[in-house]
Structure 1
């Protein structure tokens, strides 16, 4: 399935302003905001956090499946999709990340 098809199956994100990704020392590694251009990534990371509790190796593998054709594009063009690059790094042994949801007010 394509990323667009996979995205339709994920929970909604209208209640989220962003997701912050934190390392083991609670240092902010990245923030994915609810804005055009990053809403797909926000939906994927939200789903992974809800399903796996963190962005660990298992979650990263599932995320790469959900991103579908974009995962291959990132492999061919490293750095083009930073949110997928992060999943690839975690799948390859980088430390897991904790997710903090930032809710819309």
Structure 2
């Protein structure tokens, strides 16, 4: 399934302003905002957090499936898709990222 079609099936994120991704020490290592160019990733990461409770290797593998055609492009062009690169890194390093929702006001 194409990424655009997958997004239509994920839970809506209009109630979120952003997601903060936290490392094991609780430091924010990334923020995904609800804005053009990031809203799809916000939906993916939010969905993964709901399913898995965090972004761990299992969640990251599922995320790479959800990103569909963009995953191959990210592997071929590191840095072009930082939110996909992050999932690849989680798998490779065995990281676990906690997800903190930032609600829209």
User: Into which bin does the TM-score normalised by the smaller protein fall?
Assistant: over 0.9
Structure 2 length normalisation: TM-score? 0.98
Instruction: State the match for 1:21 in structure 2.
Output: 21
Structure 2 unaligned regions, length at least 5: none
Aligned residue pairs, count: 105
State yes or no: 1:7 paired with 2:13. Answer: no
| Separation in structure 2 between the aligned mates of residue 94 and residue 36 of structure 1, nearest angstrom | 30
- The alignment's C-alpha RMSD in Å is 0.6
Displacement of 1:95 in angstroms is 1.1
Instruction: State the match for 2:43 in structure 1.
Output: 43
Displacement of 1:92 in angstroms is 1.6
Instruction: State the match for 1:97 in structure 2.
Output: 97
| Separation in structure 2 between the aligned mates of residue 47 and residue 72 of structure 1, nearest angstrom | 21
Structure 1 unaligned regions, length at least 5: none
1:40-78 Cα offsets, whole Å, 9 max, x none, are 000000000000000000000000000001000000001
Instruction: State the match for 1:61 in structure 2.
Output: 61
Displacement of 1:93 in angstroms is 2.5
Structure 1 length normalisation: TM-score? 0.98
Instruction: State the match for 1:33 in structure 2.
Output: 33
Question: Deviating runs (4+, > 4 A) in structure 1?
Answer: none
